[in-house]
Amino acid sequence: MTKFIPTPHNKANEGDFAKTVLMPGDPLRAKYIAETYLSDYVLVNNIRGIQGYTGNYKGNRVSVMASGMGMPSIGIYSYELFNYYGVENIIRVGSAGGMNKDLKVRDIVIAQGACTNGNFAHQYNLPGTYAAISSYELLRKAVDSAEKMKLRYCVGNLLSSDTFYDDGMRTMDWAKMGVLAVEMESAALFMTAARAGKNALTICTISDSLVTGEALSAEDRQSSFNDMMLLALEIAE
């Protein structure tokens, strides 16, 4: 595979990204994380407005870059980071819709795995159904840190959906199989990491409940998920 840097979607130079990249969907959330938590940060990518920053957190070099929305988008950016820029760990930090009655708005879900109604795995020509799971090392660190930080969290399965406006799809049927929440990226991230031999984890904050109808505003989704962001930063190295 020819490695071309910069890539079609990333103007950063070799070495501009840290070993660990936090990846929110929203470019403004990436900017918020850099400005709020990182020291000496620099903008290393802004192609298509997908802002990427590298700075320092508690002495560790850390990067943060947006993924955009959906599995095709995070598939592109995570592929380039893993395969062209030498990134070893990507931690998705995003919002999710709760599908479990015990999950409250602003609760944290640490993803053990991700189901999907999409066909991202088709590219790998596997003779069966692939189970997309997170990296155990990152998962264990996140759980240990969440305990120390006394956060309200759950560990379990997500649904990565290809559709937001689903035209009547029976999303809540996944809850019958123990799926905790729905989002749109994690399955593709986990598959891309597995194929590259790298590590990935998703930490989500519940932004709305499909059970109760409770929901946060767009402004809250952008900047108020501080516990999730701090948890991801604590395990970055």
pLDDT at 32: 93
* Residue 230 confidence (pLDDT) above 80: yes
Domain assignment present for residue 3? The answer is: no
Catalytic annotation present for 208: yes
Q: What is the pLDDT of residues 130-147, one digit of tens each?
A: 999 999 999 999 999 999
Q: Which two structure tokens, joined as six digits, stand for 21?
A: 């990249």
Q: What is the pLDDT of residues 62-81, one digit of tens each?
A: 999 999 999 999 999 999 99
Which listed residue (16, 26, 107, 208) is catalytic?
Answer: 208
Q: What is the CATH number of the domain that holds 182?
A: 3.40.50.1580
Q: What is the mean pLDDT of residues 48-74?
A: 95
Domain assignment present for residue 9? The answer is: no
Using an 8 Å Cβ cutoff, are 7 and 33 in contact? no
Whole-number average pLDDT of the chain: 93
* 3-state SS string for 55-100: EEECCEEEEEECCCCCHHHHHHHHHHHHHHCCCCEEEEEEEEEECC
Domain assignment present for residue 15? The answer is: no
Note down the domain range covering 202: 20-235
Q: What is the pLDDT of residues 169-181, one digit of tens each?
A: 778 899 999 999 9
Domain assignment present for residue 94? The answer is: yes
* Residue 4 confidence (pLDDT) above 80: no
Phi-psi region of 19 (alpha: psi -120 to 50; beta: other; left: phi over 0): alpha
Count structural domains, the chain.
1
